[in-house]
Amino acid sequence: MSSKKKSIQTVQIKKIITRHVVKTTKSKTNIFKKEIIQYFDSNGYLSWSAKEKKYIILGTNSPKKGLVQCPHCKLGELMVIRSRTTRKRFMGCSNYYGGCKASSPLLQKAKLRATKKPCDVCKWPMIIFRYSRNQKWTHQCSNFNCKSRKPKPSK
């Protein structure tokens, strides 16, 4: 009987092993802080992309076809976009999913080219268009509400 008592008392105690734990140091926290700060917008909110369904770093989603910097949000770039549903062209900001609503309709039936030269009045890109080969190319601001686009008074 005494041997059974001794065997019960000699139970091994295993040490708990912690795995996959990062030791928090000042240098590690500073690195993480710098990475996280990139995801905040100017209001201090995280920049969530509804289209991509993930958080995005602001400024890295700049489009390849961007013409000029958006005058409204100063983050995105204005570019020619074709609507998926109506198939119509319009000028819009690349930061639409970030909250910028800057957009303007474009001519649908004209041959159209967008330039990277901004308008002197409103800073939107200038467009060149013509309806037929017999016409000359006409320069115009792409912003529908621009004062330079209003008709000139006749003499």
Q: Are residues 104 and 142 in contact, defined by beta-carbon separation less than 8 angstroms?
A: yes
Cα three-residue angle 146-100-38, rounded to 5 degrees: 135
Beta strand ranges found along the chain (DSSP E):
48-49, 54-55, 68-69, 77-82, 89-93, 103-105, 111-118, 125-130, 138-141
pLDDT, one tens digit per residue, over 109-154 is: 888 888 888 888 888 888 888 888 888 888 888 888 888 877 655 5
Q: Is residue 40 part of a domain?
A: yes
Q: Is residue 48 part of a domain?
A: yes
The ranges of the chain with pLDDT < 70 are: 1-12, 18, 20-23, 38-49, 55-65, 151-155
Q: Is residue 32 part of a domain?
A: yes
Q: Is residue 3 part of a domain?
A: no
* pLDDT value at residue 32: 75
Q: Is residue 117 part of a domain?
A: no
Q: Is residue 37 part of a domain?
A: yes
* pLDDT value at residue 38: 67
Range of the domain at 49: 26-61
Q: Is residue 36 part of a domain?
A: yes
Total number of domains constituting the chain: 1
Q: Any idea of the CA torsion for 110, 115, 117, 123, to the nearest 10 degrees?
A: 60
In the chain, % of residues over pLDDT 70: 66
* pLDDT value at residue 112: 85
| 96/99 Cα distance (integer angstroms) | 5
CA-nearest of 49, 64, 36 to 100 is: 49
Q: Is residue 54 part of a domain?
A: yes
pTM to 2 decimals?
0.52
